[in-house]
Structure 1
Amino acid sequence: MDPSRLHPQARAAMQVQQRVPLTRATLPAARLSMVQATPAEVGSAPAIRSVVTVDAGGVPARLYRDRDHDAMPVVLYAHGGGWVTGNVDTHDGLCRHLAAASGWAVLSVDYRLAPEHPYPAAVDDVARALAWLRGPEAARHGLDPGRIAVAGDSAGGHLAAVTARRARDAGTRLAGQILICPVIDPAADYPALDEYGLDREEMRFFWDAFAPPGVDRTQPDLDPLRADLSGLPPAVVITAELDLLSTEGERYAAGLLAAGVAVTAVRYQGLIHNFPRKLALFDAAHVALAQLAAVLHRW
């Protein structure tokens, strides 16, 4: 590790979560480790007007609203965790902050996790939640079915990108897509950045759990880079210099731009994977959140 490349806050942040080597046998411990580290990583979240659990088309979800207006725009949010860890609780703080800063409602989806529920379970769950947002039940919650953005971090960024493309193919117009340190490329050809947190073996475990050997990973639902990217909604892509996923996220942003999609792509120097969620540890997380809120104000 080159100490000069690592932001001081990133160096401290890497010591917060207890690292558990990922195997099928240790997965329960890895899931628990993420949950236990959440208070130290995310910190206290703002009190907002309304947080309720909803059944989003058969998918459990949590709806955040910090305004009391009808026809609120809404962000459909997919949490990170390699498709195998994480839940609405690990991302509760981030969703509260996003709802408070943006004025949009946020629907956080508790999609089914791999390997118990491999592809296409998570993709289908997010799609069902989107369909619910476009139906009459969402309107009864004061949401605008015509003004929906999709968002996610890490593996949730992958789900958001796939959902945006699926929506376009179905003729559904979305307001935008927010991809935070997204997983994009199943080829798993990663740079040697293992010492900065997320490592190559973890990513191989995640991909094998989500899309087991034998599944065609070249299909657009697994490899968004192979899709026709024209006509997709405007995008914000946030990457971190020392994240082994930064290159593929930036390749996807470049592909969107080449296809004529409006893209804002920002790389944060010296930072590590998924720093925007860790609001208690990174000053830059609050800067990134402010950027996302500003974009949502424009959408």
Structure 2
Amino acid sequence: MGRILDRLGLCSQVRFTRWATGLIMASRRPVPEGLRIKDLTFAEVPVRVYEPTAPSSGKRRGLVYFHGGGWVSGSIDTSDEVCRYIAIKSETTVVSVGYRLAPEHRYPTQLDDCEAATCHFLSVAADSFGVDPCRVAVGGDSAGGNLAAALCQRLAGRHQPGHLLAPCAQVLIYPALQMADFNLPSYQQNGTVPILLRARVAFYFLQYLCGEAYACPELLDGLHVPAELKLRYGRWLDPNDLPAEIKARGFERQTPSEHDGEVYHLVKAGLSAEVSPLLADDAALSAVPPAFVLTCEYDVLRDEGIFYTRRLEQLGVPVTWHNAPDSFHGVINFYNRGWLSFASAERVLERVVDYVKTL
């Protein structure tokens, strides 16, 4: 519908997506018992803080949460139900970050906003919120998971013991972790499964990077990656490393194609670790905090979450991985949505809560 309205010149598809997402996903329920919710600003970035009101024997743990939406949609309001659930069920202070959106604001604006809000919270967590700054994780779903993983690498590269606090863990819910290969088995198997279609992933990356959409076909065909980089990334994106039960659903290896230099220069920033955290070198990736990675069987992003898990394991970074067998991309946004609710949404959120409780 958004594309139709765009072509008719009535409304851009990005604005339509934002309107539709907000209409369906924004929470309108009163604040539940046992939770205090405040809208604040951290380092000029809007945030919503969820504080459990139950007595605590010591300082609480914290989670800084980045919403999904392909960097172009989603908001504090659309992630409200998820943040409420995590805060209450895990007795954790959750900070939801309202970072600026593409294409009006492009990379690295979103990551900069997340960094500013996270570092501010770490600096005031103990005195203002009764949170132990050494027990604060970052996390998010989809594009938010991408921002959380990228931020962990950025902060790890700057971290100096005793000087700068850093997240204690990364909680990644079906994260987008690379834009080098849109033909992995998960893309082939789930390319037409709602709510994230294969072509939309390329569209979102382009909006994040440059605000363009014309190069989507070239990205899907892999024309944006030079041969030498395909060889390098191939060792981290090898379908042979996937579990047998995933490969059993079938896939076809793609014949390598010549790259398009113009498209490469348009999106080459997207192959950096700050946009594609899975493609970071070993030194950068080995310095990140422990991770929880949740993937969904019927999700185009499933395989990169698995590959990220494998790389962390190989580098000695503690990682917990769970693949939800009956779930799809965006499933947590369908928790407690009346007739739009899915039972698997709560099961996925329970896995997240179980991990957060270990921090």
- Return the TM-score normalized by structure 2: 0.73
Q: How does 1:1-299 map to 2 (within 5 A)?
A: 20-21=2-3, 25-38=12-25, 46-67=32-53, 69=56, 71-136=59-124, 139-171=127-159, 172-190=165-183, 191-192=187-188, 193-197=190-194, 198-212=196-210, 213-227=266-280, 228-280=284-336, 281-299=341-359
Q: Secondary structure at the match of 2:270?
A: coil
8 Å contact kept, 1:188–1:203 = no
Q: How many residues align?
A: 280
Higher alpha-carbon deviation: 64-73 or 46-55: 64-73
- Greater C-alpha radius of gyration: 2
8 Å contact kept, 2:324–2:348 = no
Q: State the shift of 1:232 in Å.
A: 1.7
Alpha-carbon distance between aligned partners in 2 of 1:126 and 1:196, rounded to the nearest angstrom: 30
Q: Which amino acid aligns with 2:177?
A: I
Note the alpha carbon deviations across 1:20-67, whole angstroms, 9 max, x for none: 339682211111111111169x98884442100111111100000113
Q: Secondary structure at the match of 1:164?
A: helix
Alpha-carbon distance between aligned partners in 1 of 2:96 and 2:171, rounded to the nearest angstrom: 14
Note the alpha carbon deviations across 1:166-193, whole angstroms, 9 max, x for none: 2211224422111001001112414232
Q: Secondary structure at the match of 2:50?
A: strand
* Identity score, percent: 31
Note the alpha carbon deviations across 1:270-290, whole angstroms, 9 max, x for none: 321021232132222212222
Matching residue of 2:227: none
Alpha-carbon distance between aligned partners in 2 of 1:137 and 1:293, rounded to the nearest angstrom: 20
Alpha-carbon distance between aligned partners in 2 of 1:244 and 1:21, rounded to the nearest angstrom: 21
Note the alpha carbon deviations across 1:243-293, whole angstroms, 9 max, x for none: 101011111111111111111111111321021232132222212222222
Unaligned runs of 5+ in 2: 160-164, 211-265
Using a 3 Å threshold, how does the CA distance of structure 1 residues 258 and 44 change in structure 2: closer, same or farther?
Answer: farther
8 Å contact kept, 1:45–1:97 = no
Alpha-carbon distance between aligned partners in 2 of 1:180 and 1:254, rounded to the nearest angstrom: 16
Q: State the shift of 1:144 in Å.
A: 2.4
Q: State the shift of 1:109 in Å.
A: 0.1
Using a 3 Å threshold, how does the CA distance of structure 1 residues 245 and 44 change in structure 2: closer, same or farther?
Answer: farther
RMSD of aligned residue pairs (Cα, Å): 2.2
Q: State the shift of 1:130 in Å.
A: 1.2
8 Å contact kept, 2:177–2:277 = yes
Alpha-carbon distance between aligned partners in 2 of 1:95 and 1:296, rounded to the nearest angstrom: 12
Q: State the shift of 1:214 in Å.
A: 4.6
8 Å contact kept, 2:90–2:354 = yes
Q: Secondary structure at the match of 2:3?
A: coil
Q: Which amino acid aligns with 1:20?
A: G
8 Å contact kept, 1:154–1:182 = yes
